[in-house]
Protein backbone atom coordinates (compact mmCIF):
# COMPACT_ATOMS: atom_id res chain seq x y z
CA UNK A 1 0.00 0.00 0.00
CA UNK A 2 1.22 3.49 -0.88
CA UNK A 3 1.30 5.69 2.24
CA UNK A 4 2.87 8.70 0.52
CA UNK A 5 1.06 12.02 1.03
CA UNK A 6 -0.47 13.81 -1.96
CA UNK A 7 1.88 16.50 -3.35
CA UNK A 8 0.77 20.04 -2.59
CA UNK A 9 0.65 20.75 -6.32
CA UNK A 10 -2.34 18.40 -6.53
CA UNK A 11 -4.33 20.23 -3.88
CA UNK A 12 -6.54 23.31 -3.80
CA UNK A 13 -4.82 26.64 -4.35
CA UNK A 14 -6.20 28.20 -1.17
CA UNK A 15 -6.81 26.41 2.15
CA UNK A 16 -10.11 27.00 3.96
CA UNK A 17 -8.27 29.02 6.61
CA UNK A 18 -7.64 31.78 4.08
CA UNK A 19 -11.00 32.10 2.38
CA UNK A 20 -12.46 35.65 2.52
CA UNK A 21 -15.19 36.40 5.08
CA UNK A 22 -18.13 38.32 3.64
CA UNK A 23 -20.23 40.70 5.78
CA UNK A 24 -23.17 38.29 5.46
CA UNK A 25 -21.00 35.42 6.68
CA UNK A 26 -19.73 37.53 9.56
CA UNK A 27 -23.30 38.26 10.66
CA UNK A 28 -24.36 34.62 10.39
CA UNK A 29 -21.32 33.37 12.31
CA UNK A 30 -21.93 35.89 15.09
CA UNK A 31 -25.53 34.69 15.33
CA UNK A 32 -24.53 31.04 15.44
CA UNK A 33 -21.80 31.73 18.01
CA UNK A 34 -24.41 33.37 20.29
CA UNK A 35 -26.60 30.27 19.92
CA UNK A 36 -23.70 28.00 20.89
CA UNK A 37 -22.83 30.12 23.94
CA UNK A 38 -26.43 29.98 25.14
CA UNK A 39 -26.44 26.23 24.54
CA UNK A 40 -23.24 25.82 26.57
CA UNK A 41 -24.56 27.98 29.40
CA UNK A 42 -27.67 25.84 29.46
CA UNK A 43 -25.76 22.57 29.75
CA UNK A 44 -23.50 24.03 32.45
CA UNK A 45 -26.63 24.88 34.42
CA UNK A 46 -28.04 21.41 33.75
CA UNK A 47 -24.97 19.33 34.53
CA UNK A 48 -23.21 21.63 36.97
CA UNK A 49 -19.79 23.22 37.20
CA UNK A 50 -18.25 20.46 39.31
CA UNK A 51 -16.44 18.67 36.47
CA UNK A 52 -19.39 16.50 35.47
CA UNK A 53 -19.45 18.26 32.10
CA UNK A 54 -16.27 18.03 30.00
CA UNK A 55 -15.11 19.08 26.54
CA UNK A 56 -13.00 16.64 24.52
CA UNK A 57 -10.68 18.92 22.58
CA UNK A 58 -9.03 17.09 19.68
CA UNK A 59 -7.41 20.37 18.59
CA UNK A 60 -9.12 20.44 15.21
CA UNK A 61 -10.55 23.66 13.78
CA UNK A 62 -14.01 23.01 15.25
CA UNK A 63 -12.54 22.28 18.67
CA UNK A 64 -10.60 25.54 18.58
CA UNK A 65 -13.85 27.43 17.94
CA UNK A 66 -15.37 25.80 21.03
CA UNK A 67 -12.20 26.42 23.04
CA UNK A 68 -12.37 30.12 22.17
CA UNK A 69 -16.08 30.36 23.03
CA UNK A 70 -15.57 28.58 26.36
CA UNK A 71 -12.57 30.73 27.31
CA UNK A 72 -14.02 33.98 25.98
CA UNK A 73 -17.16 33.51 28.07
CA UNK A 74 -15.39 32.07 31.13
CA UNK A 75 -17.57 28.97 31.08
CA UNK A 76 -16.75 26.45 33.85
CA UNK A 77 -16.19 23.50 31.53
CA UNK A 78 -13.23 21.16 31.98
CA UNK A 79 -11.21 20.72 28.78
CA UNK A 80 -9.15 17.64 28.02
CA UNK A 81 -7.22 16.17 25.09
CA UNK A 82 -5.96 12.72 24.12
CA UNK A 83 -2.30 12.28 23.25
CA UNK A 84 -2.00 9.09 21.22
CA UNK A 85 1.78 9.18 21.19
CA UNK A 86 1.81 9.57 17.40
CA UNK A 87 0.49 13.08 16.93
CA UNK A 88 2.16 15.51 14.49
CA UNK A 89 4.62 18.01 15.96
CA UNK A 90 2.28 20.79 14.81
CA UNK A 91 -0.46 19.45 17.11
CA UNK A 92 1.83 19.68 20.13
CA UNK A 93 2.72 23.22 19.09
CA UNK A 94 -0.98 24.05 19.12
CA UNK A 95 -1.34 22.61 22.62
CA UNK A 96 1.32 25.07 23.75
CA UNK A 97 -0.38 27.92 21.88
CA UNK A 98 -3.70 27.16 23.62
CA UNK A 99 -2.03 27.49 27.00
CA UNK A 100 -0.30 30.72 25.99
CA UNK A 101 -3.39 32.32 24.44
CA UNK A 102 -6.01 31.30 27.00
CA UNK A 103 -4.00 30.42 30.09
CA UNK A 104 -5.61 27.01 29.72
CA UNK A 105 -3.66 23.92 30.67
CA UNK A 106 -5.26 21.02 28.86
CA UNK A 107 -5.81 17.90 30.92
CA UNK A 108 -4.06 15.33 28.74
CA UNK A 109 -4.76 11.60 28.77
CA UNK A 110 -2.26 9.08 27.38
CA UNK A 111 -2.64 5.45 26.23
CA UNK A 112 -1.99 2.62 28.64
CA UNK A 113 1.62 1.73 27.88
CA UNK A 114 1.08 -2.02 28.27
CA UNK A 115 -1.73 -2.02 25.70
CA UNK A 116 0.41 -0.17 23.15
CA UNK A 117 3.41 -2.40 23.82
CA UNK A 118 1.34 -5.55 23.34
CA UNK A 119 -0.16 -4.22 20.09
CA UNK A 120 3.22 -3.28 18.60
CA UNK A 121 4.89 -6.47 19.78
CA UNK A 122 2.09 -8.61 18.34
CA UNK A 123 1.38 -6.82 15.08
CA UNK A 124 4.16 -4.33 14.27
CA UNK A 125 4.65 -0.59 14.58
CA UNK A 126 2.56 0.29 11.47
CA UNK A 127 0.16 -2.65 11.44
CA UNK A 128 -2.82 -0.31 11.15
CA UNK A 129 -2.20 -0.10 7.40
CA UNK A 130 -2.79 -3.85 7.00
CA UNK A 131 -6.51 -4.14 7.79
CA UNK A 132 -9.49 -2.25 9.20
CA UNK A 133 -9.44 -4.56 12.22
CA UNK A 134 -5.81 -3.80 13.06
CA UNK A 135 -6.34 -0.08 12.48
CA UNK A 136 -9.32 -0.07 14.83
CA UNK A 137 -7.34 -2.05 17.39
CA UNK A 138 -4.63 0.63 17.29
CA UNK A 139 -7.26 3.37 17.65
CA UNK A 140 -8.77 1.51 20.58
CA UNK A 141 -5.48 1.32 22.44
CA UNK A 142 -4.42 4.89 21.68
CA UNK A 143 -7.79 6.71 21.72
CA UNK A 144 -10.81 4.77 22.91
CA UNK A 145 -9.37 3.41 26.15
CA UNK A 146 -7.95 6.80 27.21
CA UNK A 147 -11.29 8.43 26.37
CA UNK A 148 -13.08 5.88 28.56
CA UNK A 149 -10.88 6.95 31.46
CA UNK A 150 -11.40 10.64 30.70
CA UNK A 151 -15.19 10.23 30.73
CA UNK A 152 -15.41 7.98 33.79
CA UNK A 153 -17.85 9.44 36.31
CA UNK A 154 -18.95 12.28 33.99
CA UNK A 155 -22.53 13.17 33.13
CA UNK A 156 -22.00 14.70 29.68
CA UNK A 157 -19.26 15.43 27.17
CA UNK A 158 -18.95 18.07 24.47
CA UNK A 159 -17.49 17.38 21.04
CA UNK A 160 -16.66 19.47 17.98
CA UNK A 161 -18.45 17.14 15.57
CA UNK A 162 -20.26 18.57 12.55
CA UNK A 163 -22.84 16.78 10.42
CA UNK A 164 -21.07 17.77 7.18
CA UNK A 165 -17.73 16.23 8.14
CA UNK A 166 -18.43 12.78 6.71
CA UNK A 167 -21.08 10.29 5.65
CA UNK A 168 -20.84 8.62 9.07
CA UNK A 169 -21.98 11.87 10.74
CA UNK A 170 -24.97 12.84 8.62
CA UNK A 171 -28.05 13.78 10.63
CA UNK A 172 -25.91 14.48 13.69
CA UNK A 173 -28.02 15.91 16.56
CA UNK A 174 -26.72 18.50 19.01
CA UNK A 175 -27.69 16.16 21.85
CA UNK A 176 -27.87 12.38 22.07
CA UNK A 177 -27.25 9.56 24.50
CA UNK A 178 -23.84 7.96 24.11
CA UNK A 179 -24.50 4.26 24.73
CA UNK A 180 -20.83 3.31 24.49
CA UNK A 181 -19.81 5.62 27.34
CA UNK A 182 -23.07 5.82 29.26
CA UNK A 183 -23.58 9.59 29.26
CA UNK A 184 -24.98 12.49 27.25
CA UNK A 185 -23.02 13.57 24.17
CA UNK A 186 -23.29 17.18 23.00
CA UNK A 187 -22.28 18.53 19.59
CA UNK A 188 -23.06 22.27 19.59
CA UNK A 189 -21.47 22.83 16.16
CA UNK A 190 -23.50 20.07 14.48
CA UNK A 191 -25.11 22.44 11.96
CA UNK A 192 -22.04 24.58 11.25
CA UNK A 193 -20.43 24.52 7.82
CA UNK A 194 -16.68 24.36 7.27
CA UNK A 195 -16.78 27.94 5.96
CA UNK A 196 -18.51 29.13 9.12
CA UNK A 197 -15.90 27.43 11.31
CA UNK A 198 -13.07 29.12 9.46
CA UNK A 199 -14.86 32.47 9.36
CA UNK A 200 -15.08 32.39 13.16
CA UNK A 201 -11.40 31.49 13.46
CA UNK A 202 -10.39 34.35 11.17
CA UNK A 203 -12.68 36.91 12.78
CA UNK A 204 -11.44 36.14 16.29
CA UNK A 205 -7.84 35.27 15.41
CA UNK A 206 -8.17 31.87 17.03
CA UNK A 207 -4.98 29.76 17.04
CA UNK A 208 -5.17 26.64 14.88
CA UNK A 209 -3.03 23.79 13.66
CA UNK A 210 -0.73 25.05 10.89
CA UNK A 211 -1.24 21.77 9.04
CA UNK A 212 -4.60 23.21 7.98
CA UNK A 213 -2.61 25.65 5.84
CA UNK A 214 -1.00 22.64 4.14
CA UNK A 215 -4.36 21.21 3.03
CA UNK A 216 -5.04 18.97 6.02
CA UNK A 217 -8.71 19.74 6.82
CA UNK A 218 -8.93 16.88 9.34
CA UNK A 219 -5.93 15.98 11.50
CA UNK A 220 -5.35 12.88 13.57
CA UNK A 221 -2.25 10.77 14.15
CA UNK A 222 0.63 11.63 11.83
CA UNK A 223 0.85 8.27 9.97
CA UNK A 224 -2.91 8.15 9.42
CA UNK A 225 -3.40 11.67 8.04
CA UNK A 226 -2.50 13.23 4.70
CA UNK A 227 -3.45 16.35 2.68
CA UNK A 228 -6.56 16.24 0.50
CA UNK A 229 -6.86 17.01 -3.20
CA UNK A 230 -9.25 19.36 -4.97
CA UNK A 231 -12.85 18.20 -4.58
CA UNK A 232 -12.12 15.55 -1.97
CA UNK A 233 -14.23 15.18 1.18
CA UNK A 234 -12.85 17.01 4.23
CA UNK A 235 -12.09 13.67 5.90
CA UNK A 236 -10.59 12.03 2.82
CA UNK A 237 -7.15 12.46 4.34
CA UNK A 238 -8.01 10.34 7.38
CA UNK A 239 -7.31 6.61 6.94
CA UNK A 240 -7.36 7.31 3.20
CA UNK A 241 -6.66 3.66 2.34
CA UNK A 242 -10.04 2.57 3.75
CA UNK A 243 -13.63 2.67 2.51
CA UNK A 244 -15.38 5.85 3.80
CA UNK A 245 -17.97 3.85 5.73
CA UNK A 246 -15.24 2.64 8.11
CA UNK A 247 -13.65 6.02 8.76
CA UNK A 248 -14.24 6.36 12.48
CA UNK A 249 -11.78 5.51 15.21
CA UNK A 250 -14.29 4.34 17.80
CA UNK A 251 -14.53 7.61 19.72
CA UNK A 252 -17.69 8.37 17.75
CA UNK A 253 -19.71 5.33 16.72
CA UNK A 254 -21.21 5.31 13.23
CA UNK A 255 -24.81 6.45 13.20
CA UNK A 256 -25.53 3.89 10.44
Q: What is the pLDDT of residue 251?
A: 59
Query: Which pLDDT score is estimated for 3?
Result: 46
**pTM to 2 decimal places:** 0.87
The residues annotated as belonging to the active site are 249
Residue 89 has pLDDT above 90, yes or no: yes
Which pLDDT does position 179 carry in this prediction? 94
Mean pLDDT of 82-95: 98
Indicate if the pLDDT at residue 235 is higher than 90. no
User: Domain boundaries in the chain?
Assistant: 20-214
- pLDDT tens per residue across span 190-204: 999 999 999 999 999
Band (229; pLDDT cuts 50, 70, 90):
confident
Pick the CATH number of 20-214 from 3.40.190.10, 3.30.465.10, 3.90.1200.10, 3.40.50.620: 3.40.50.620
Residues 6 or more apart whose CB falls under 8 angstroms from that of 118 comprise: none
Phi and psi (nearest 5°) for 78?
-70, 135
Amino acid sequence: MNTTAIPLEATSSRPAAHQPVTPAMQTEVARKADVVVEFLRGVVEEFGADGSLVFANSLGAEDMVLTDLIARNALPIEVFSLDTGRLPTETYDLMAAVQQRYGLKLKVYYPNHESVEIYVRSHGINAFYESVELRKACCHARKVEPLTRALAGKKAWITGLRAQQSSTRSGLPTREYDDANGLIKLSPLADWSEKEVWAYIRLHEVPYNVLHDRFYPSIGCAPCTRPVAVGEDVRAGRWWWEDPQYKECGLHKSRG
